Amino acid sequence: MTTPASPKSGGTGHTASTWERLQSDRNWLGFWFMVPAAFFLLFFLAYPLGKGVWMSLTDIKIGRPGQFVGLENYEELILYDKTFLYATGFTLVYTAIASAIKFALGLYLAILLNNNMPFKSFIRSIVLIPFIVPTVLSAIAFWWIFDSQFSIISWFLRKINLIDHNINFLGDPLMAQATVIFCNIWRGVPFIAITLLAGLQTVSPSLYEAATLDGASRWQIFKNITYPLLTPIIAVVMTFSVLFTFTDFQLIWAMTRGGPVNATHLMATYSYQKGILGGQLGEGSAIATAMVPFLLAAIMVSFYGLQQRKWQQGAKE
């Protein structure tokens, strides 16, 4: 032999055993690397999801295995459970209002922070604070701020003689809904602002200069250059924001537990109340499973939205 054979083409000498091939083959190697991640995904995500869907099709209760009942739980929820319908409606309203305002504020804040100003990095890190404080802690703080007796806002407004009795922030259904939406916005804006700020910083300053020379005003630059160039990152960040808002649990549970009179129940909190606290595991699972179509729809909208932007795709014709 004059030419050295590479290990892979050494088929003439001896046939490698299956085990040896599994060790050296590139595709199999990739497979081995994926195994740990796949295990975690299957065991901690796919399995609970599948189990949840299965439970929603049974009449399982705490302490009783339960039997397959088909779609009875869903029927029960949709036809007879007013609270479920109300919670679903409120979840949609909560998500829509909170996401829209978070987006508007986040974008505005990002543009503000993108300007040159003194103490730039200090201000940027301050903006992140609502995001890094654990949700439950900030929710408890808000609970006190909006308390019916000890609310600092009521106290202040009374001191300056704007009102003569405390505002019942969390006791009145409409007020409570507005309050929890406000808290969600407070918590969610930094994430959007910082992500959009990162997006803004990838826009080359010479594009703004070119647009200025082309005769664009500041508003026209925003409308024609900044906003379109941000759309990819807006699509991603708003998808996340909608998903997180829709599945919110901590904030509501820490502040109102769904009250007053179930006015602030989201699907997630209602599912918990029904399934874990009420022991109706089957129905609770059905409520949780009912969230899936909404979430899928949100993902689809963003997915097809992303596909539409031809200018982003590579140099292909």
Task: For residue 108, give both structure tokens.
Answer: 């505005």
For position 218 contacting another protein by CB under 8 A, the verdict is: no
Would you say 180 and 198 are in contact if contact means Cβ atoms under 8 Å apart?
no
Task: For residue 131, give both structure tokens.
Answer: 């995001």
What track of x and - describes contact with another protein for positions 227 through 246 (by CB under 8 A)? -xx-----------------
For position 213 contacting another protein by CB under 8 A, the verdict is: yes
Query: What angle separates helix 173-201 from helix 82-114, to the nearest 10 degrees?
Result: 40
> What's the CA gap between 289 and 298, in Å, rounded?
15
One residue of 6, 12, 27, 206 binding another protein per CB under 8 A: 206
For position 309 contacting another protein by CB under 8 A, the verdict is: yes
Q: Which stretch binds another protein (CB under 8 A): 19-27, 176-184, 210-218, 242-250?
A: 210-218
Name, in order, each residue with C-beta under 8 angstroms of 201's C-beta and a sequence gap of 6 or more.
114
Q: Which stretch binds another protein (CB under 8 A): 75-83, 130-138, 154-162, 222-230?
A: 222-230
Shortest reach from residue 112's CB to another protein, in Å: 22
For position 12 contacting another protein by CB under 8 A, the verdict is: no
How far out from the chain centre does Cα 155 lie?
Answer: 34
Would you say 258 and 183 are in contact if contact means Cβ atoms under 8 Å apart?
no
One residue of 80, 149, 174, 317 binding another protein per CB under 8 A: 317
Nearer to another protein, 174 or 315 (CB): 315
Nearer to another protein, 125 or 307 (CB): 307
Nearer to another protein, 13 or 205 (CB): 205
For position 15 contacting another protein by CB under 8 A, the verdict is: no
Per-residue DSSP letter, 1: -
- Cα atoms in the Cβ-side hemisphere of radius 13 Å centred on 259: 10
> What's the CA gap between 205 and 225, in Å, rounded?
11
Nearer to another protein, 4 or 314 (CB): 314
Of 140, 161, 160, nearest in space to 150 by CA: 140
Would you say 180 and 188 are in contact if contact means Cβ atoms under 8 Å apart?
no
For position 308 contacting another protein by CB under 8 A, the verdict is: no
Shortest reach from residue 221's CB to another protein, in Å: 10
Amino acid letter at 282? G
One residue of 209, 261, 300, 304 binding another protein per CB under 8 A: 209
How far out from the chain centre does Cα 208 lie?
Answer: 32
For residue 68, the cross-strand partners are 58
Nearer to another protein, 24 or 220 (CB): 220
For position 23 contacting another protein by CB under 8 A, the verdict is: no
For position 215 contacting another protein by CB under 8 A, the verdict is: yes
Per CB under 8 A, residues contacting another protein are 204, 206-207, 209-216, 220, 224-225, 228-229, 309-317
